[in-house]
Amino acid sequence: MAKQYDVIVIGAGPGGMTAALYASRSNLSVLMLDRGIYGGQMNNTAEIENYPGFKSILGPDLGQQMYDGATQFGAEYAYGNVSQVINDGLWKRVITDEETFEAKAIVIATGAEHRKLGVEGEETYSGRGVSYCAVCDGAFFKNRELVVVGGGDSAIEEGLYLTQLASKVTVIHRRDQLRAQQIIQKRAFANDKMNFVWDAQVEDILGDDMKVTGVKYVDKDTGEEHVVPASGAFIYVGIKPMTDSFKDLDILDDAGWIPTDDEMATRVPGVFAIGDVRAKNLRQITTAVGEGGQAGQSVFNYLQSLE
């Protein structure tokens, strides 16, 4: 028989670990499952300067501290790549590559992944000038020249955010016009610090072995190569929610995100979603943690309502 819990939290990033903390502290039996090491995206983050309580902390260190807190009231943690969740009404079956577990409530906290450009230098300089999050890393580049790659809402909004910190922001876009909403475009074109390179294919993120020094692109019309000198390259070519395993639950929106109400409840009773995987605007550790606390409490209320 499958092992049963009050709640299974899928994904042990900051959101999932906080949900596990709140639920286990309310005396619920909790299993956290993750297909990697606990900590989620924090494991790929060097310095975090915007998590309250710490002037600066390394991502993996914050992950370890959150894990110690999350498991202190009995929440279990296990390795498991969740491939499917089946809603049998009162019980939900959580299927991993090796095992099946059951719980009356599920918290989905599987996060999201920034799409990569796939060019030379991108991986080498990730965290050393290459970034996918202006709110996270912009402050490291005060009065420097930066490049933003992309032309959608995120690229232009984050580019505008960066103009408050950087001396110059050059947007490199592969088309001859932006895809961002008109109002955002208007703001961007009116901003003196914003520059645009059109019809350009980024080829290479250049560096001096330590950090980014520029971005090389090819002009798609002329075939000529150019370099924009920059200390940072912010890449916004899409972000993908980690929700393939939850398609059968019928809780995803058209783009694959999970909409919830203020209690973090999805449209399926007993299924909650938090953190980067939710349909929302700001994807940060603080927001994931806040939603995790809410979900832990919502799970408690949901289970009480079943009695």
Positions in the binding site for ligand FAD (CB under 6 A): 10-16, 33-36, 40-42, 44-45, 48, 50, 80-82, 109-111, 132-133, 136, 242, 245, 275-277, 283-286, 288
Is 239 buried (19+), middle (13-18) or exposed (0-12) by CB count in 10 A? middle
Of 84 and 185, the one with the shorter C-beta distance to ligand FAD is 84
Cα–Cα distance for residue pair 292/83, rounded to 1 Å? 22
Q: Which of 133, 219, 250, 254 is catalytic?
A: 133
Residue 278 DSSP one-character state: B
Of 33 and 206, the one with the shorter C-beta distance to ligand FAD is 33
Is 136 among the catalytic positions? Answer: yes
Q: Give 8-50 as a DSSP string.
A: EEE--SHHHHHHHHHHHHTT--EEEEESS-TTGGGGG-SEE--
Q: Which of 34, 61, 97, 137 is catalytic?
A: 137
Q: Which of 6, 136, 176, 276 is catalytic?
A: 136
Q: What is the closest distance, in whole angstroms, from the C-beta atom of residue 77 to ligand FAD in the complex?
A: 11
Of 32 and 197, the one with the shorter C-beta distance to ligand FAD is 32
Unique residue bearing structure tokens 């030379």 = 120
Of 34 and 157, the one with the shorter C-beta distance to ligand FAD is 34
Q: What is the closest distance, in whole angstroms, from the C-beta atom of residue 17 to ligand FAD in the complex?
A: 7
> Which amino acid, one-letter code, is at 210?
M
- H or E stretch at 207: strand 200-207
Is 137 among the catalytic positions? Answer: yes
Of 11 and 159, the one with the shorter C-beta distance to ligand FAD is 11
Residue 61 DSSP one-character state: H
Angle CA 263–267–273, to nearest 5: 50
Q: What is the closest distance, in whole angstroms, from the C-beta atom of residue 199 to ligand FAD in the complex?
A: 29
Q: What is the closest distance, in whole angstroms, from the C-beta atom of residue 243 to ligand FAD in the complex?
A: 9
Of 11 and 150, the one with the shorter C-beta distance to ligand FAD is 11
Start-to-end CA span in the chain (Å): 23
Cα–Cα distance for residue pair 22/12, rounded to 1 Å? 14
Q: What is the closest distance, in whole angstroms, from the C-beta atom of residue 280 to ligand FAD in the complex?
A: 10
Q: What is the closest distance, in whole angstroms, from the C-beta atom of residue 175 to ligand FAD in the complex?
A: 26
- The closest of 136, 146, 123 to 47, measured between CA atoms, is 136
Cα–Cα distance for residue pair 12/138, rounded to 1 Å? 26
Judged by DSSP in three states, 94 sits in strand
Is 209 among the catalytic positions? Answer: no
Active site residues: 133, 136-137
